[in-house]
Amino acid sequence: MIGQESRFDFDRRRRIGMVEAIWGENKTSQQIAGILRELEKCNEIGLVTRVLPDKAKELITSFPCAEFHNKSRCLTIGTPPDPIPELGKVCVLSGGTSDITVASEAELALRLHGIQTEVIVDLGVAGLHRLFQNLERIKTAKVVIACAGMEGALPTVLSGLIPQPVIGVPVSIGYGVSLGGRTALEGMLGSCAPGLVVVNIDNGYGAAMAALRIMQQ
């Protein structure tokens, strides 16, 4: 048994079509291992987010089939499903290379649900020409996730240029007044671009699940 301290939602995939993620940052290796063992019994995919390398190393000792994704700070068990082309593709964008951890978390979460993805990095508004150079590529996606720190302008600019749904992810990157992503969050929430969807700071997984819900309609 997992124990009273954990009540994992094993029915989530059947009920709403998504794998429940395990928040790894504040759990011990033993707590995570207990949940992963139950997932293995159910032949379910396991996604653990916010995992540092030392904790991942401990878990891989117990689960040799596990894979640590250093770029996204995630650990997975199980075989991802084949891509489902008819659902379309999600483009995951980052304003800069400092946003890549959050963007990679979103991309990995989507791949674990059979969604085709494309990651395009370093499209921040400080070099707006880079965004315009990739605009046609971006327009091939059904949904776009845009991760940005600093002032968080990328999702707003993008929402004024393309018809696809845009999900903004504020990232905790920036100097003092950026306040750990709070400035980016408030900028996205206050955006004049109608229809822009915004998730919480650094919440790549949440953005991926919002995109998944759109893709499955």
Tell me the average pLDDT across 14-35. 86
Closest to 194 in 3D by CA, of 171, 160, 162, 167: 160
Per-residue pLDDT of 134-153, as tens digits, reads 999 999 999 999 999 998 89
Answer yes or no: pTM beyond 0.75. Answer: yes
Q: How far is it, in rounded angstroms, from Cα 53 to Cα 73?
A: 8
Tell me the average pLDDT across 161-185. 94
Instruction: Indicate if the pLDDT at residue 161 is higher than 90.
Output: yes
Written as six digits, the tokens of 165 are 């749904």
Written as six digits, the tokens of 206 are 């949440």
The pLDDT score that the predictor gives to residue 3 is: 46
Tell me the average pLDDT across 202-206. 96
Q: Are 94 and 100 in contact (CB under 8 A)?
A: yes
